[in-house]
Amino acid sequence: MSDLEQFRSELRSWLEANCPEEMRQPARSEDDVFWGGRNPTFQNDAQKAWFEACVEKGYTVPDWPTEYGGAGLNAAELKVFRQEMNRINARPPLSSFGIWMLGPALLHFGTHEQKERFLTEIARGEIRWCQGYSEPGSGSDLVSLQTFGEDKGDHWVVNGQKIWTSYADHADWIFCLVRTDKSDKYRGITFMLYDMESEGVSTKPIKLISGRSPFCETFFDDVKVPKSYGENIPAQVGEVNRGWDVAKYLLGHERAMISGQSGGERTGSLGAALARNDMIENDLMRAEIAMFDIDALAFAAMAEKFADEIKVGKCHPAQPNMMKYAGTELNKAKHELVMTAGGSAALEWESDASKDGKHARDWLRTKANSIEGGTSEVMLNVISKRILELPGG
């Protein structure tokens, strides 16, 4: 048996013993997702047991180094890990912007001491992070952001407003883009880390067309941010005034992550799922669904190829933009079809039968897919400039 097959076999036994039955089905709603944090709320004992077992093995962040709370899996092992998790439909034990966003930034730009502290906290689900990027006047043109941190020697004083801060009202800490030099647009932004309990921080949820509010407006009113949290633990990631480099790096990750949600090995045939519930009304709808399935199954192959290529550095650095564009457009198209196939039942907004309008709310939520993390139009701009090398702008 090869080392990899040995790993698979051991992992299978471990999952068998440690992943509770209740955790072997996809999350039915937002409530099924565990986010960690200072005051964690577990939905049930199974969720708690599954989370704790994974923390013990480093499986909340399987590919992070063991010294920072991960399991240190290499690329091949990680692929096996995902396959085995998918095989039994295991839920992610922990979801967090720390894992998806801050972690990769720290792994790439952080000091050893920063990693030791923050990565370990993330891996163990102790601190829940939120992301402070967009501002009311800085959406697609993010680099124009105005939230300002005034240098006061051993600390900054931050004033300004962020928008679209996901779960800011539940977050413990924020990683935030703050202007620290008004004279340089690109080299005047610092990637700061600070506590959401700091005096002067307030949040206000934003209600979306889906009726839900994962997003917040976040206000900073004379927030005092210390420049250091201990020896070799600066409050910023990367250099002061070089936060744009970190932000750009992370946007790549975010785009890959968003695109991955609608692709990957889990993508099955939409038509097959609808047909099981007798939801394909006639041949014209059947044809349209088949046309969608062709795109979806082809994109699943693309997602797998992209994941393989990115691990070995074989893909174009701007390729995540293409994945984000195609993946989000596809997901929107999918939910249009799901709504159509569902008929009037899918219109129900408040009923037990519709799980309080799951179809309708999910459909509306997908409309943000091609806006958040860079709009489709910005993605197309990037592809045309950086990959096709078309002139201008």
Nearer to other proteins, 122 or 296 (CB): 296
Which ranges of 19-160 would DSSP assign to H, the alpha helix?
Answer: 45-57, 75-87, 97, 103-109, 112-114, 120-123
Query: Between 27 and 294, whose beta carbon lies closer to other proteins?
Result: 294
Residues 6+ apart with CB under 8 A from 173: 127, 128, 129, 130, 193, 194, 195, 196
With beta carbons less than 8 A apart as the criterion, state whether 274 and 259 touch: no
**The two structure tokens encoding residue 355:** 């799980």
CB of 79 to other proteins, least distance (A): 9
Closest to other proteins by CB, 8 vs 170, is 8
Spatial separation of the C-alpha atoms in residues 165 and 222, rounded to whole Å: 19
Cross-strand partners of 174:
130, 194
CB closer to other proteins, 81 vs 109: 81
CB of 384 to other proteins, least distance (A): 4
Contact 249, 105 (CB under 8 A): yes
> Residue 85 or residue 326: which is nearer to other proteins going by CB?
326
Total residues belonging to the chain: 393
Cβ of residue 280: shortest distance to other proteins, in angstroms? Answer: 6
Min separation Cβ 322 and other proteins, Å:
5
Shortest spacing between CB 23 and other proteins, in angstroms: 28
Instruction: Tell me how far, at minimum, the Cβ of 3 lies from other proteins, in Å.
Output: 17
Q: Is 386 exposed, middle or buried (0-12, 13-18, 19+ CB in 10 A)?
A: middle
Least Å distance between CB 290 and other proteins?
Answer: 4
The Cα 343–Cα 360 span in angstroms is 11
- Contact status, residue 38 vs residue 127, Cβ threshold 8 Å: yes
Least distance in angstroms from the C-beta of 184 to other proteins = 27
CA atoms within 13 A on the CB side of 139: 10
CB within 8 A of 117, min separation 6: which ones? 229, 230, 233
Closer to other proteins by CB, 122 or 280: give it: 280
Q: Which is nearer to other proteins, 199 or 278 (CB)?
A: 278
Partners of residue 192 on adjacent β-strands: 176, 236
Single out the residue of 142, 136, 98 nearest to residue 374, CA to CA.
142
Binding site for other proteins (CB under 8 A): 269, 271-272, 274-276, 280, 286-287, 289-291, 293-295, 297-299, 301-302, 304-306, 308-309, 312, 314, 319, 322, 325-326, 377, 379-381, 383-385, 387-393
Calpha distance 188→180 (Å, rounded)? 5
**Closer CB to other proteins, 346 or 379, in the complex:** 379
Separation between Cα atoms, residue 19 and residue 47, nearest integer Å: 9
CB of 375 to other proteins, least distance (A): 12
Question: What is the closest distance, in whole angstroms, from the C-beta atom of residue 128 to other proteins in the complex?
Answer: 34
The first and second tokens of residue 104, run together, are 């990769």
Nearer to other proteins, 314 or 358 (CB): 314
With respect to other proteins, which residue has the nearer C-beta, 227 or 386?
386
